[in-house]
Structure 1
Amino acid sequence: MKTVAMAAAVGAALACFGLAACSSSSASPQPTVITQAAAEADVPPAGTSPAAFGERRSVPGGLVIEVSEPKSITPSDTAYPASKRAVAFEITVTNEGNEEFRTDRFQVSATTDGHTARQVVDSTQGYAGSGDMPPVLAPGKAAHVTIAFAAPTEPVAVELRIEPADVSGGTADFAGQA
Protein backbone atom coordinates (compact mmCIF):
# COMPACT_ATOMS: atom_id res chain seq x y z
CA MET A 1 0.00 0.00 0.00
CA LYS A 2 2.83 2.36 0.85
CA THR A 3 4.41 1.58 -2.53
CA VAL A 4 1.18 2.42 -4.38
CA ALA A 5 0.79 5.69 -2.43
CA MET A 6 4.41 6.59 -3.06
CA ALA A 7 4.11 5.80 -6.78
CA ALA A 8 0.97 7.93 -6.94
CA ALA A 9 2.74 10.80 -5.21
CA VAL A 10 5.74 10.53 -7.54
CA GLY A 11 3.40 10.36 -10.55
CA ALA A 12 1.50 13.42 -9.35
CA ALA A 13 4.75 15.31 -8.80
CA LEU A 14 6.03 14.39 -12.27
CA ALA A 15 2.71 15.35 -13.83
CA CYS A 16 2.78 18.66 -11.98
CA PHE A 17 6.40 19.26 -13.04
CA GLY A 18 5.51 18.40 -16.62
CA LEU A 19 2.60 20.85 -16.58
CA ALA A 20 4.74 23.54 -15.05
CA ALA A 21 7.41 23.00 -17.69
CA CYS A 22 4.81 23.16 -20.44
CA SER A 23 3.12 26.23 -19.05
CA SER A 24 6.39 28.08 -18.49
CA SER A 25 7.64 27.33 -21.98
CA SER A 26 4.42 28.49 -23.59
CA ALA A 27 4.50 31.70 -21.55
CA SER A 28 8.10 32.51 -22.45
CA PRO A 29 8.68 34.97 -25.29
CA GLN A 30 9.59 33.72 -28.72
CA PRO A 31 13.30 33.85 -29.55
CA THR A 32 14.55 36.81 -31.53
CA VAL A 33 15.24 35.91 -35.14
CA ILE A 34 18.32 37.56 -36.60
CA THR A 35 18.54 37.58 -40.35
CA GLN A 36 21.79 36.60 -41.99
CA ALA A 37 22.27 40.11 -43.37
CA ALA A 38 21.81 41.70 -39.93
CA ALA A 39 24.17 39.20 -38.33
CA GLU A 40 26.81 39.77 -40.99
CA ALA A 41 26.50 43.54 -40.86
CA ASP A 42 26.40 43.58 -37.03
CA VAL A 43 24.77 47.00 -37.30
CA PRO A 44 21.92 48.12 -35.04
CA PRO A 45 18.69 48.77 -36.95
CA ALA A 46 17.16 52.18 -37.46
CA GLY A 47 14.37 53.07 -35.06
CA THR A 48 16.41 52.31 -31.96
CA SER A 49 17.87 55.09 -29.84
CA PRO A 50 20.10 57.52 -31.73
CA ALA A 51 23.56 56.28 -32.57
CA ALA A 52 26.61 58.21 -31.51
CA PHE A 53 28.51 59.96 -34.26
CA GLY A 54 31.02 57.52 -35.73
CA GLU A 55 28.68 54.52 -35.36
CA ARG A 56 26.70 52.75 -38.08
CA ARG A 57 22.96 52.16 -38.48
CA SER A 58 21.10 49.87 -40.86
CA VAL A 59 17.78 50.72 -42.49
CA PRO A 60 15.34 48.44 -44.32
CA GLY A 61 16.42 47.46 -47.80
CA GLY A 62 20.02 46.75 -46.86
CA LEU A 63 21.35 50.29 -46.48
CA VAL A 64 23.99 50.93 -43.83
CA ILE A 65 24.62 54.55 -42.83
CA GLU A 66 27.61 55.92 -40.95
CA VAL A 67 28.07 59.52 -39.85
CA SER A 68 31.51 60.84 -38.89
CA GLU A 69 32.29 62.74 -35.72
CA PRO A 70 31.22 66.40 -36.15
CA LYS A 71 33.81 68.89 -37.28
CA SER A 72 33.45 72.58 -36.42
CA ILE A 73 34.11 74.83 -39.40
CA THR A 74 34.03 78.52 -40.18
CA PRO A 75 32.00 78.91 -43.38
CA SER A 76 33.56 80.91 -46.20
CA ASP A 77 32.22 84.28 -47.37
CA THR A 78 30.45 82.52 -50.25
CA ALA A 79 28.57 80.05 -48.02
CA TYR A 80 24.78 80.12 -47.96
CA PRO A 81 23.22 80.89 -45.60
CA ALA A 82 25.80 83.05 -43.89
CA SER A 83 26.82 81.65 -40.53
CA LYS A 84 29.67 82.27 -38.09
CA ARG A 85 30.01 78.56 -37.37
CA ALA A 86 28.86 75.32 -38.93
CA VAL A 87 29.12 71.70 -37.93
CA ALA A 88 30.21 69.40 -40.75
CA PHE A 89 29.81 65.64 -41.19
CA GLU A 90 30.86 63.00 -43.67
CA ILE A 91 28.05 60.56 -44.33
CA THR A 92 28.74 57.16 -45.85
CA VAL A 93 25.86 55.15 -47.29
CA THR A 94 26.61 51.53 -48.21
CA ASN A 95 24.12 49.45 -50.18
CA GLU A 96 24.35 45.95 -48.68
CA GLY A 97 20.98 45.02 -50.21
CA ASN A 98 20.16 43.25 -53.46
CA GLU A 99 18.56 46.15 -55.33
CA GLU A 100 19.71 49.55 -56.56
CA PHE A 101 18.98 52.47 -54.26
CA ARG A 102 17.87 55.78 -55.79
CA THR A 103 19.36 58.71 -53.91
CA ASP A 104 17.37 61.53 -55.55
CA ARG A 105 15.21 62.08 -52.46
CA PHE A 106 17.83 61.32 -49.82
CA GLN A 107 17.21 63.78 -46.98
CA VAL A 108 19.43 64.89 -44.12
CA SER A 109 18.18 67.21 -41.39
CA ALA A 110 19.69 68.44 -38.14
CA THR A 111 18.78 70.12 -34.89
CA THR A 112 21.05 72.01 -32.52
CA ASP A 113 19.84 72.12 -28.91
CA GLY A 114 16.41 71.05 -30.20
CA HIS A 115 16.11 73.82 -32.82
CA THR A 116 16.03 73.12 -36.56
CA ALA A 117 19.43 73.81 -38.09
CA ARG A 118 19.80 75.15 -41.61
CA GLN A 119 22.04 73.31 -44.05
CA VAL A 120 25.05 75.37 -45.07
CA VAL A 121 26.18 75.00 -48.66
CA ASP A 122 29.82 76.02 -48.93
CA SER A 123 31.19 74.63 -52.18
CA THR A 124 34.47 76.50 -51.58
CA GLN A 125 35.15 74.10 -48.69
CA GLY A 126 33.49 71.08 -50.32
CA TYR A 127 30.12 71.12 -48.55
CA ALA A 128 27.65 70.68 -51.37
CA GLY A 129 25.03 68.79 -49.37
CA SER A 130 23.11 65.62 -50.09
CA GLY A 131 22.62 66.64 -53.72
CA ASP A 132 26.25 65.66 -54.24
CA MET A 133 25.41 61.91 -54.07
CA PRO A 134 25.34 59.77 -57.22
CA PRO A 135 21.75 59.26 -58.52
CA VAL A 136 21.87 55.47 -58.08
CA LEU A 137 23.75 53.34 -55.58
CA ALA A 138 24.25 49.78 -56.87
CA PRO A 139 24.34 46.76 -54.53
CA GLY A 140 27.75 46.44 -52.88
CA LYS A 141 28.65 50.09 -53.53
CA ALA A 142 29.11 53.00 -51.13
CA ALA A 143 28.72 56.75 -51.52
CA HIS A 144 30.16 59.56 -49.42
CA VAL A 145 28.76 63.02 -48.97
CA THR A 146 29.93 65.91 -46.83
CA ILE A 147 27.31 68.16 -45.33
CA ALA A 148 27.31 71.09 -42.91
CA PHE A 149 24.68 72.76 -40.73
CA ALA A 150 24.66 76.20 -39.12
CA ALA A 151 25.37 76.06 -35.39
CA PRO A 152 25.78 78.50 -32.52
CA THR A 153 29.33 79.54 -31.70
CA GLU A 154 29.35 77.58 -28.42
CA PRO A 155 29.24 73.75 -28.24
CA VAL A 156 25.70 72.34 -28.52
CA ALA A 157 23.81 69.06 -28.64
CA VAL A 158 23.39 68.05 -32.27
CA GLU A 159 20.99 65.48 -33.70
CA LEU A 160 21.18 64.35 -37.31
CA ARG A 161 18.34 62.48 -39.06
CA ILE A 162 18.93 60.68 -42.33
CA GLU A 163 15.94 59.58 -44.39
CA PRO A 164 16.74 57.54 -47.48
CA ALA A 165 14.20 57.83 -50.32
CA ASP A 166 11.44 55.23 -50.53
CA VAL A 167 12.56 53.31 -47.42
CA SER A 168 9.60 52.70 -45.13
CA GLY A 169 10.63 53.12 -41.49
CA GLY A 170 14.13 53.87 -42.63
CA THR A 171 15.30 56.86 -40.71
CA ALA A 172 18.69 56.70 -39.05
CA ASP A 173 19.30 59.11 -36.17
CA PHE A 174 22.66 60.18 -34.76
CA ALA A 175 23.36 62.41 -31.76
CA GLY A 176 26.20 63.99 -29.84
CA GLN A 177 27.93 67.23 -28.94
CA ALA A 178 29.51 69.57 -31.43
Structure 2
Amino acid sequence: MEPTHTVTSASTGPAAHARRPGIHRRRLIAAGIGLAAVLTAVGLGTAALLKSPGPTASTLTSASLITVTPAMPISSRELNGLIARSPDFGPLADPKRRAACLSALGYSGSVQVLGAETLQVDGRPAIVLVLPGDQPDVIVGVTVSANCSAVDTGLIADTTVRRP
Protein backbone atom coordinates (compact mmCIF):
# COMPACT_ATOMS: atom_id res chain seq x y z
CA MET A 1 0.00 0.00 0.00
CA GLU A 2 1.02 3.44 -0.73
CA PRO A 3 1.04 6.16 1.86
CA THR A 4 -1.96 8.44 1.71
CA HIS A 5 0.06 11.51 2.60
CA THR A 6 2.89 12.94 0.77
CA VAL A 7 5.69 14.71 2.51
CA THR A 8 7.49 17.54 0.83
CA SER A 9 10.61 19.28 1.91
CA ALA A 10 10.41 22.47 3.97
CA SER A 11 10.45 25.77 2.14
CA THR A 12 13.16 28.25 2.78
CA GLY A 13 10.94 30.82 4.60
CA PRO A 14 8.70 30.58 7.65
CA ALA A 15 5.45 28.71 7.48
CA ALA A 16 2.58 30.64 5.88
CA HIS A 17 0.42 30.55 9.03
CA ALA A 18 3.18 32.13 11.15
CA ARG A 19 3.76 35.15 8.93
CA ARG A 20 2.52 38.60 10.00
CA PRO A 21 0.71 40.67 7.49
CA GLY A 22 2.78 43.55 6.18
CA ILE A 23 2.21 47.10 7.36
CA HIS A 24 -0.49 48.54 5.21
CA ARG A 25 -0.18 51.95 3.67
CA ARG A 26 -3.39 53.18 5.42
CA ARG A 27 -2.01 52.30 8.85
CA LEU A 28 1.15 54.25 8.15
CA ILE A 29 -0.86 57.31 7.08
CA ALA A 30 -3.10 57.09 10.19
CA ALA A 31 -0.09 56.78 12.49
CA GLY A 32 1.53 59.80 10.83
CA ILE A 33 -1.64 61.89 11.25
CA GLY A 34 -1.93 60.84 14.92
CA LEU A 35 1.69 61.74 15.59
CA ALA A 36 1.21 65.13 13.91
CA ALA A 37 -1.88 65.80 16.06
CA VAL A 38 0.00 64.97 19.27
CA LEU A 39 2.92 67.20 18.32
CA THR A 40 0.54 70.05 17.42
CA ALA A 41 -1.26 69.75 20.78
CA VAL A 42 2.03 69.77 22.68
CA GLY A 43 3.24 72.80 20.72
CA LEU A 44 0.02 74.77 21.26
CA GLY A 45 -0.06 73.90 24.97
CA THR A 46 3.55 74.97 25.44
CA ALA A 47 2.93 78.23 23.57
CA ALA A 48 -0.14 78.97 25.71
CA LEU A 49 1.81 78.37 28.92
CA LEU A 50 4.69 80.57 27.81
CA LYS A 51 2.34 83.44 26.94
CA SER A 52 0.27 83.21 30.15
CA PRO A 53 0.45 86.26 32.46
CA GLY A 54 1.64 84.14 35.35
CA PRO A 55 0.02 83.49 38.69
CA THR A 56 -2.86 85.73 39.65
CA ALA A 57 -4.04 86.64 43.11
CA SER A 58 -6.69 84.31 44.37
CA THR A 59 -9.93 85.75 45.68
CA LEU A 60 -11.69 83.91 48.44
CA THR A 61 -15.22 82.86 47.71
CA SER A 62 -16.77 80.97 50.50
CA ALA A 63 -20.16 80.46 51.98
CA SER A 64 -18.76 81.54 55.32
CA LEU A 65 -18.03 84.97 53.85
CA ILE A 66 -21.53 85.47 52.49
CA THR A 67 -23.88 87.02 54.99
CA VAL A 68 -27.56 87.67 54.67
CA THR A 69 -29.10 90.05 57.17
CA PRO A 70 -32.72 89.14 57.78
CA ALA A 71 -35.37 91.77 57.34
CA MET A 72 -36.32 93.97 60.27
CA PRO A 73 -39.17 92.26 62.17
CA ILE A 74 -41.18 95.52 62.32
CA SER A 75 -42.01 98.08 59.63
CA SER A 76 -40.46 101.52 59.29
CA ARG A 77 -43.76 103.04 60.45
CA GLU A 78 -43.62 100.90 63.62
CA LEU A 79 -39.98 101.93 64.17
CA ASN A 80 -40.97 105.57 64.02
CA GLY A 81 -43.89 104.82 66.37
CA LEU A 82 -41.51 103.46 69.02
CA ILE A 83 -40.07 106.97 69.45
CA ALA A 84 -43.39 108.30 70.76
CA ARG A 85 -43.82 105.77 73.60
CA SER A 86 -41.89 104.63 76.63
CA PRO A 87 -39.06 102.24 75.72
CA ASP A 88 -39.41 98.58 76.72
CA PHE A 89 -35.79 97.48 77.11
CA GLY A 90 -36.57 94.08 78.62
CA PRO A 91 -33.29 92.42 79.60
CA LEU A 92 -31.38 95.54 78.49
CA ALA A 93 -33.08 97.72 81.14
CA ASP A 94 -29.79 97.78 83.05
CA PRO A 95 -27.92 100.84 81.67
CA LYS A 96 -24.49 99.15 81.96
CA ARG A 97 -25.63 96.06 80.06
CA ARG A 98 -27.31 98.23 77.40
CA ALA A 99 -24.14 100.36 77.07
CA ALA A 100 -22.04 97.19 76.61
CA CYS A 101 -24.43 95.95 73.92
CA LEU A 102 -24.39 99.28 72.09
CA SER A 103 -20.58 99.43 72.23
CA ALA A 104 -20.36 95.94 70.77
CA LEU A 105 -22.66 97.09 67.95
CA GLY A 106 -20.25 99.94 67.19
CA TYR A 107 -22.19 102.78 68.85
CA SER A 108 -21.15 104.88 71.78
CA GLY A 109 -22.33 103.32 75.03
CA SER A 110 -23.82 106.69 75.94
CA VAL A 111 -25.89 107.08 72.72
CA GLN A 112 -29.47 108.10 73.43
CA VAL A 113 -31.85 105.23 72.65
CA LEU A 114 -34.94 106.84 71.13
CA GLY A 115 -37.18 103.81 71.54
CA ALA A 116 -37.18 100.10 72.32
CA GLU A 117 -39.51 97.12 72.19
CA THR A 118 -39.18 93.48 73.18
CA LEU A 119 -40.59 90.88 70.82
CA GLN A 120 -40.10 87.33 69.55
CA VAL A 121 -38.04 86.62 66.42
CA ASP A 122 -38.12 83.02 65.22
CA GLY A 123 -39.45 81.99 68.62
CA ARG A 124 -36.59 83.64 70.53
CA PRO A 125 -36.74 86.80 72.64
CA ALA A 126 -35.30 89.88 70.95
CA ILE A 127 -35.16 93.64 71.43
CA VAL A 128 -35.60 96.34 68.80
CA LEU A 129 -33.61 99.49 69.59
CA VAL A 130 -34.23 102.78 67.80
CA LEU A 131 -31.12 104.95 67.62
CA PRO A 132 -30.43 108.37 66.09
CA GLY A 133 -29.01 108.28 62.56
CA ASP A 134 -26.17 110.26 61.03
CA GLN A 135 -28.63 112.95 59.93
CA PRO A 136 -31.48 114.49 61.96
CA ASP A 137 -34.18 113.08 59.65
CA VAL A 138 -32.88 109.48 59.88
CA ILE A 139 -33.23 106.80 62.55
CA VAL A 140 -31.54 103.42 62.83
CA GLY A 141 -33.41 100.33 63.91
CA VAL A 142 -31.35 97.49 65.37
CA THR A 143 -32.78 94.12 66.42
CA VAL A 144 -30.61 92.13 68.83
CA SER A 145 -31.06 88.97 70.83
CA ALA A 146 -32.17 89.42 74.43
CA ASN A 147 -28.72 88.33 75.67
CA CYS A 148 -26.86 91.09 73.77
CA SER A 149 -23.57 91.82 75.53
CA ALA A 150 -20.07 93.15 74.91
CA VAL A 151 -19.03 89.63 73.89
CA ASP A 152 -21.93 88.76 71.57
CA THR A 153 -24.36 91.29 70.13
CA GLY A 154 -26.70 88.67 68.77
CA LEU A 155 -27.46 91.07 65.91
CA ILE A 156 -30.55 89.86 64.09
CA ALA A 157 -31.32 92.75 61.75
CA ASP A 158 -30.65 96.42 61.21
CA THR A 159 -32.12 99.12 59.02
CA THR A 160 -32.02 102.85 58.45
CA VAL A 161 -35.27 104.74 57.80
CA ARG A 162 -36.35 108.35 57.44
CA ARG A 163 -38.40 110.07 60.10
CA PRO A 164 -41.83 111.15 58.91
TM-score, length of structure 1 as denominator length: 0.32
TM-score, length of structure 2 as denominator length: 0.34
Bigger Rg, which one = 2
Structure in which a larger fraction of residues adopt strand: 1
Structure in which a larger fraction of residues adopt helix: 2
